[in-house]
Amino acid sequence: MTAPRKLFVKTYGCQMNVYDSERMTEALGGEGYVATDKADDADMILLNTCHIREKAAEKVYSELGRLRALKDINPDLKIGVAGCVAQAEGEEIMRRAPLVDLVVGPQSYHRLPAMDRAVRAGERALDTDFPLDDKFDTLTDRPKARRAPAAFLTVQEGCDKFCAFCVVPYTRGAEVSRPADRVLREARDLVEAGVVEITLLGQNVNAYHGHDGGLAGLIRDLAKIDGLERIRFTTSHPNDMDDALIAAHGDCEKLMPYLHLPVQSGSDRMLKAMNRKHTAEQYLKLVERIRAARPDLLLSSDFIVGFPGETDADFEATMDLIRAVEFGQAYSFKYSTRPGTPAAEKPQLPEGVMAERLARLQALLTQQQHAIQDGMVGRTVKVLFEKPGRIAGQMIGKSDYLHAVHAVAPAAAVGQVLPVRITSAGPNSLGGELIA
Ligand code: 5AD
Ligand code: SF4
């Protein structure tokens, strides 16, 4: 028997890429590859890339520069670029980086086995199609090996929203939902492999329409799976939060009280320019309705500062919205011009203005985040333990509210949801004691 080939996958960007990296590794498993976590040991290196902001996209070219040295040492090493940069700039990558053997987009990676064979035969391979055949039909069933207790499951891809700043509708294409029966089968397989928490993924996951009852219908069916204890979903658009999904937050016990609901800005003028198709007031009303269904729900959002045309008053409107909502968690970014998007044509704000606004916005968000974390002290929360911590005897897990929690617990706690009394709140995690 020949020794297995080794595959090193480096994942950038969002959770959907994390999921795709797993599926690519599984697809190449059929070609005799096993995963390695060491690049210098690999026969194939795949960079699964992100195109959402300029900085993310630039990382690919600097990483390729570093990989040149490895290819000099091992000329048989094959290098591939996958993900959204591959989709957006595939031909340019092939031109600019002769060391790249393979470029594959997010919708065509089920063809990796054939591409690998071509590459092994000395060819270079590029596939950034949006093929008619569904990659999920071609990909094999997921391996039955024991898994970590929390897993991602992509149920929806692409986006039809066309926010003026965003490349996703171009790199990931139109919205497509996987049929509910396939998702349920994959979920059952994951649970059989030891998974107790599933996060449903989609670029616009609450627009899911692979089930008659939409995302709420899918969640209710998933909740019937014995052994699956927690369900989450991300990322959602405010305009797709329908009544059924809001109701599910109120009465579906397995649906966790945490919702990532990006608003981007609190200024109606900016929301309009961003093509978000809702106002700040509508967002606030929606939050009120969701919180009426699930009062302890923790909200999270994405924010963009310095979108073209943003005035001080627009920025202050965002700060006001943040004060009104109180977010438990948030991601915030300076606006980054993306080629091919409508906003790319507009005059940019000075870097200094963006930096100053971002710092103020992040300070407010951090303050809110810490206040909510401090408020957890003394409460008892349920924690899904995932792995050992850095201190001997300690285990780390996630609370219902997605806070990282560490507590002294037996190794056997991994995979179990156990009550923990929170005793301390640090900047990034909570400490607690297991309740016997
Ligand atoms: N510049 C800055 N941030 C962006 N995002 C998307 N496109 C851009 C851009 N051009 C942010 C949005 C989105 C998150 C995934 O990334 O906040 O919700
Ligand atoms: Fe991008 Fe807007 Fe679609 Fe989110 S909803 S992926 S920000 S276009």
Q: Which CATH superfamily is 5-127 part of?
A: Methylthiotransferase, N-terminal domain (3.40.50.12160)
| pLDDT at position 436 over 90 | no
Expressed in angstroms and rounded, the spacing between residue 211 Cα and the centre of ligand 1 is: 28
Expressed in angstroms and rounded, the spacing between residue 130 Cα and the centre of ligand 2 is: 19
Expressed in angstroms and rounded, the spacing between residue 398 Cα and the centre of ligand 1 is: 26
Quote the pLDDT of residue 57.
81
Quote the pLDDT of residue 144.
73
What is this structure's pTM? Answer: 0.95
Confidence class of residue 121 from pLDDT cuts 50, 70 and 90?
A: very high
279 contacts: CB under 8 Å, gap ≥ 6: 268, 271
| pLDDT at position 174 over 80 | yes
Confidence class of residue 134 from pLDDT cuts 50, 70 and 90?
A: confident
Give the number of the ligand closest to the Cα of residue 274: 2
Per residue in 400-416, pLDDT tens? 999 999 999 999 999 99
User: Is 276 exposed, middle or buried, given 0-12, 13-18 or 19+ CB atoms closer than 10 A?
Assistant: buried
For the Cβ of 166 lying below 6 angstroms from any atom of ligand 1, the answer is: yes
| pLDDT at position 124 over 90 | yes
Mean pLDDT across the stretch 279-290? 98
Q: Is 50 annotated as a binding residue?
A: yes
The residue with tokens 């697809």 is: 27
d(CA 435, CA 60): 46
Mean pLDDT across the stretch 89-102? 95
Whether 64 and 99 have beta carbons less than 8 Å apart is answered as yes
Cα Rg of the chain, angstroms: 22
Expressed in angstroms and rounded, the spacing between residue 433 Cα and the centre of ligand 2 is: 40
| pLDDT at position 142 over 90 | no
Strand partners, 77: none
Quote the pLDDT of residue 132.
67
User: Is 428 exposed, middle or buried, given 0-12, 13-18 or 19+ CB atoms closer than 10 A?
Assistant: exposed
| pLDDT at position 249 over 60 | yes
One-letter amino acid for residue 307 of the chain: F
Per residue in 181-234, pLDDT tens? 999 999 999 999 999 999 999 999 999 999 999 999 999 999 999 999 999 999
CA angle, 60 then 61 then 63, to 5°: 65
Domain ranges of the chain: 5-127, 141-256, 380-434
Per residue in 321-360, pLDDT tens? 999 999 999 999 999 999 999 999 999 999 999 999 999 9
Expressed in angstroms and rounded, the spacing between residue 237 Cα and the centre of ligand 2 is: 8
CA atoms in the 13 A half-sphere facing the CB of 271: 21
Residue nearest to atom 5 of ligand 2 (CA): 161
Quote the pLDDT of residue 312.
98
Domain 141-256 CATH (choose: 3.30.750.210, 1.10.3720.10, 3.40.640.10, 1.10.620.20) = 3.30.750.210
| pLDDT at position 1 over 60 | no
295 contacts: CB under 8 Å, gap ≥ 6: none
Percent of residues, the chain, with pLDDT higher than 90: 92
Q: Is 252 annotated as a binding residue?
A: no
For the Cβ of 236 lying below 6 angstroms from any atom of ligand 1, the answer is: no
Instruction: Name the 3-class secondary structure at 84.
Output: helix
Q: Which of 181, 188, 185, 187 is nearest to 200 (CA)?
A: 187
Q: Which atom of ligand 2 is nearest to 166's Cα?
A: 1
User: Is 71 exposed, middle or buried, given 0-12, 13-18 or 19+ CB atoms closer than 10 A?
Assistant: middle
Residue 125 parent element (H or E) = strand 125-127
Per residue in 367-398, pLDDT tens? 999 999 999 999 999 999 999 998 999 999 99
CA angle, 335 then 172 then 351, to 5°: 10
Residue nearest to atom 1 of ligand 2 (CA): 166
Q: Is the peptide bond before 235 cis (omega within 30 degrees of 0)?
A: yes
CATH topology (fold) of 380-434:
OB fold (Dihydrolipoamide Acetyltransferase, E2P) (2.40.50)
